[in-house]
Structure 1
Amino acid sequence: MPHKRRMRTDRTALAIACMLMSLTLFDAMGLIIKHLSPRYGVAELSAWRNLFGMIPTLIVLYAARDWHARGRIWRLRQWRLAVGRGVILVFAQFAFYMSLGILSFATASTITYSSALFMTAFAVPLLGERVGALRWSAVLVGFVGVIWIIRPGSDSVSWAALLPLFAAACYALTGVTARLMDDDVPTPLINLYSTGVAAIGSVVLTLFMGGFSPVASLSDLMWICAMGAFGGCAVLLLIVAYRMTEQSNLAPFSYFGIPLAFVLGWLFFDESPWAELFPGALLIAAGGLLIIWRERRLARD
């Protein structure tokens, strides 16, 4: 019995490590997008990210034994839902990538962490979940933090802060609708559908907005490849983490990206937006952690 408990603990620790690495890769992808945004359009950066990001997903799908055992099925019964998730992802990426070119890196990244609050709200109409007063209070606390950062009516470009907020709502919508998919569908296949549709949508959007810009240098090409690889691997590491242990074990670590984004923005872009982020960022994290605590208590009961 102690041996089994030790193995379970080891898997949880490995899952936490995978999640922290995933958040680090997501932030690294964001840094590259902010670095490339002065020379390339938002839509084309989204297109490159999705095109290169499909490579890790295909590798994991072909390595999945269950997928091979079931006859390597590509078609999904709920393909319309999968395509819809990809369309939503196009809007999410476009808004978030645009915000990275306007706002400080830490501010744009922090606002997207309100997606946990949106997921709680969307779970009511879409999944039929019952949300009590405590969790609604947590959502309210988190949104007060978002409003604190956005500062409506101030002299700053508060409209730009609505972009990552919109992206957070879209990312939350893709997360909630993923739970509507059939349980026997491999997660990499769901991700492949979403990323593939997002790639097609962002390519069409790029062509509509004037086409792709010539890649200026070999270093830019390497950055573009790294952007897609980091984004694709981050998603897969997150999937691996959630399959290795319960979501409640990982959720407290999901806000690791907020201080990490602040440090990375300071190191690479000499940004230190203390006045913009605090105490709003603390309220966003507090609201999310309160939801997590309530979920764990309900699961225990």
Structure 2
Amino acid sequence: MTQTHRETVWLAIALSLLSLMLFDLMGLVIKFLTPRYGAAELSAYRNLIGLIPSLIALWSSRAWHAAGRRWRIRQWPIGCLRGVCVTFAQFFLYVSLGHMAFATATTITYSNALFMTAFAVPILGERVGPIRWAAVVLGFAGVLWIMKPGSESFTIYAAAPLASAMLYALSGVIARRIDSDVPSPLVNLYSSGTALLGAILLALVTGGFGPIQSLGDLGWIVMMGTFGGLGVLVMVISYRMADQSTLAPFSYFGIPFAFSFGWLFFGEAPFADLFPGALLIAGGGLLVIWRERMMRRRRIAAER
């Protein structure tokens, strides 16, 4: 690895950590606003404002310009289906943030890597060996440890971040069915646009849009959408600079970030709820990542 490449990788890691912080900041604003606005309302506002960074990411995509700046993709129904998954994933996540400790809800969503492994079997036809299945079981043991089903502390809201993780994972696996030559920002724009329409419909079904209660709330809503949109933009940039297998392990830094933010802004410190379940979730996810990296190296070596 050359010095320049090493510096690029470290910059990509720094950007991926920045994207995690931006997503957490978005979540903090959502938790702050949920007493006054519905989850679907906030999702609609977030997607509306988030279209701007999505368009910036698309315009800066060399692959999109090289392909003639085409807006239509051959498998547009899959792109829209991914947006439907994102619509409900956001809704369940925002509901959980309004009813659970910030770190607890956020940590459960990190089980999405485990769902992606499970979904890859029926949707992509991948073969998953015993090591990755063991990782999935380990991670879900951590989820159950945090949720504590059957205990007095368990509520139905604990299932919301798990449903969100499942739907986010499904959207990620579905995206892999789209032609590889389609720029990722274009796929994301289809998904974001569909998620915006879906959130608007969901808001109308669940009670409609209420008036924004103050200029302060309007500012927070703009910040929420800006944090989320910039998070996506920074994440896209980081994944262009380094392989996903390199950056994926650092995503679990989001768990201590979420714990720190929840303690700092809301006075929450759910040690008993999170540990050791959070370690099992991270351990399962990291085991999946490690196994996929090993398999990738073997494929590359076999092709030489």
TM-score (norm 1): 0.96
Pick aligned residue for 1:93 from 90, 93, 99: 90
**d(CA) in 1 for partners of 2:182, 2:133:** 32
Q: CA deviation at 1:65?
A: 3.5
| Cα shift readout 1:50-83 (whole Å, capped 9, x = no counterpart) | 0000011112212334323433211111010011
Tell which deviates more after alignment, 148-157 or 46-55.
Answer: 148-157
- Secondary structure of 2:236's counterpart equals helix
1:36 aligned to 2:33?
Answer: yes
Tell which deviates more after alignment, 242-251 or 265-274.
Answer: 242-251
- Secondary structure of 1:163's counterpart equals helix
Pick aligned residue for 1:75 from 59, 72, 76: 72
1:224 aligned to 2:190?
Answer: no
Q: CA deviation at 1:166?
A: 0.4
The residue identity in structure 1 corresponding to 2:108 is: I
**d(CA) in 1 for partners of 2:16, 2:65:** 27
Structure-to-structure mapping, 1:1-301, within 5 angstroms = 5-301=2-298
| Cα shift readout 1:69-121 (whole Å, capped 9, x = no counterpart) | 43321111101001100111111011010000000000000000000000111
**d(CA) in 1 for partners of 2:10, 2:175:** 25
**d(CA) in 2 for partners of 1:122, 1:65:** 31
The residue identity in structure 1 corresponding to 2:59 is: Y
Q: Any gaps of 5 or more consecutive residues in structure 1? A: none
Q: CA deviation at 1:45?
A: 0.3
**d(CA) in 2 for partners of 1:210, 1:160:** 19
CA contact (8 A) 1:151 1:158 kept: no
The residue identity in structure 1 corresponding to 2:5 is: R
| Cα shift readout 1:20-65 (whole Å, capped 9, x = no counterpart) | 0010001000000000000001110000000000011112212334
Q: CA deviation at 1:157?
A: 3.4
**d(CA) in 1 for partners of 2:177, 2:26:** 28
Q: How many residues were matched structurally? A: 298
Q: CA deviation at 1:134?
A: 0.8
CA contact (8 A) 1:43 1:202 kept: yes
CA contact (8 A) 2:148 2:154 kept: no
Q: CA deviation at 1:190?
A: 0.7
The residue identity in structure 1 corresponding to 2:188 is: N
Moved beyond 4 Å, runs of 4+ = none
The residue identity in structure 2 corresponding to 1:43 is: A
**d(CA) in 2 for partners of 1:114, 1:254:** 12
Tell which deviates more after alignment, 83-92 or 181-190.
Answer: 181-190
Tell which deviates more after alignment, 201-210 or 90-99.
Answer: 201-210
| Cα shift readout 1:110-144 (whole Å, capped 9, x = no counterpart) | 00000000011111111111111111101100000
| Cα shift readout 1:265-299 (whole Å, capped 9, x = no counterpart) | 00000000111111100100111111111122222
What do you get for the CA RMSD once the two structures are aligned? 1.1
**d(CA) in 2 for partners of 1:217, 1:143:** 42
Q: CA deviation at 1:208?
A: 2.1
Question: Percentage identity across aligned positions?
Answer: 61
The residue identity in structure 1 corresponding to 2:249 is: P
**d(CA) in 1 for partners of 2:209, 2:148:** 35
2:302 corresponds to which residue?
Answer: none
**d(CA) in 2 for partners of 1:99, 1:26:** 15
